[in-house]
Amino acid sequence: MTETVSNLDPLDVAEDWKAQGRDVAVATVVETWGSAPRPAGSHLVIDADGNFEGSVSGGCVEGAVIAEALDIIGSGQSKMLEFGVADETAWRVGLSCGGRIRVFVERLA
């Protein structure tokens, strides 16, 4: 997986990638509680090759979101993801700072 480095809005990147014929998913932070590294409305776009642009959290959380996005690109089924300190996945993905985030991931049609 590689991150594209640019100052473009991730949604503009998603539009460009779709225009190039790439399969694309968009992850959006829809809710945060407590300490969260990115605010609601933050985006991460991912293509079928694992390229990504933007950010929904940082660290291992983004790795988990990217992995889910690749599955969603394949299945077409949107999914709501939640990461938080009360969840055992929080420790696995590195969100042990006391916050929680909800991220909606969908494939662009």
Task: Kindly list the domain boundaries of the chain, sorted by start residue.
Answer: 10-107
pLDDT, residue 100, reads 84
CA dist., res. 65 & res. 78, Å (int): 12
Tens of pLDDT, residues 50-66: 999 999 987 778 999 99
Tens of pLDDT, residues 17-73: 999 999 999 999 999 987 778 899 999 999 999 999 999 987 778 999 999 999 999
Q: How far is CA 16 from CA 19, 30, 40, 51, 91, in A?
A: 5, 23, 23, 13, 35
pLDDT, residue 104, reads 98
- What's the average model confidence in pLDDT over 66-92? 83
